[in-house]
C-alpha cells in the first residue's frame, strides 16, 4: 500500500474515534472533574471542626483518679507532654542537634491556645515509637 492510502485510512479511523459520542463526553467531563476537585478540595480540607464546650464530671468513688487527672490537664503538664513527644519524635527521626532547645522553641511557637489539640494528637504510650532500623 502506498503512504497516501495509509494516511487516508489513518485519518478516517482518527475521525471515527474523535467524533464518537463517548470520546466527546469524556473529553468534556475530565476537565470539569478536575475543575470541581480544584474548587472543592481546599474548602473541604480547611473546614473548621465543631468546637465542643462544656463541663466534664468525673465520678471517682476511690478518690485516686481525680487528683491525677487534675494534675495532668494543667497547661504546664500539657506543655511538658508536648515537649516530650516532640523530642521523642525528633530522636526517632534521627534529627541531629540539640533537640531540647528545638522542642522548647516549637512549644513556645505553638502557643497555649493550640496546645490541647496538639497534645491530644501526640498521645502515644511510652515505648511505642518505632526504632530506627538503619543509620542515615
In this prediction the pTM is 0.35
pLDDT by residue (tens digit) across 102-136?
555 665 555 555 544 444 444 444 444 444 444 54
> Which triple of cell numbers denotes residue 105?
522553641
Helix (H) or strand (E) holding 41: helix 21-45
pLDDT by residue (tens digit) across 43-92?
887 767 677 788 878 888 898 888 888 888 888 999 999 888 888 888 88
- Give the dihedral sign, CA 70/74/77/82: positive
- Give the dihedral sign, CA 121/126/130/131: positive
Amino acid at each position: 500500500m502506498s503512504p497516501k492510502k495509509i494516511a487516508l485510512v489513518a485519518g478516517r479511523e482518527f475521525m471515527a474515534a474523535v467524533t464518537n459520542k463517548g470520546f466527546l463526553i469524556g473529553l468534556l467531563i475530565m476537565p470539569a472533574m478536575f475543575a470541581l476537585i480544584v474548587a472543592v478540595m481546599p474548602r473541604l480540607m480547611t473546614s473548621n471542626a465543631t468546637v465542643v464546650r462544656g463541663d466534664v464530671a468525673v465520678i471517682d468513688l476511690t478518690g485516686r483518679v481525680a487528683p491525677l487527672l487534675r494534675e495532668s490537664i494543667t497547661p504546664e503538664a500539657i506543655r511538658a507532654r508536648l515537649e516530650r513527644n516532640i523530642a521523642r519524635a525528633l530522636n526517632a527521626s534521627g534529627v541531629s542537634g540539640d533537640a531540647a532547645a528545638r522542642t522548647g522553641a516549637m512549644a513556645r511557637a505553638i502557643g497555649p491556645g493550640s496546645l490541647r489539640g496538639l497534645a491530644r494528637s501526640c498521645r502515644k504510650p511510652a515505648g511505642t515509637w518505632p526504632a530506627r532500623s538503619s543509620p542515615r
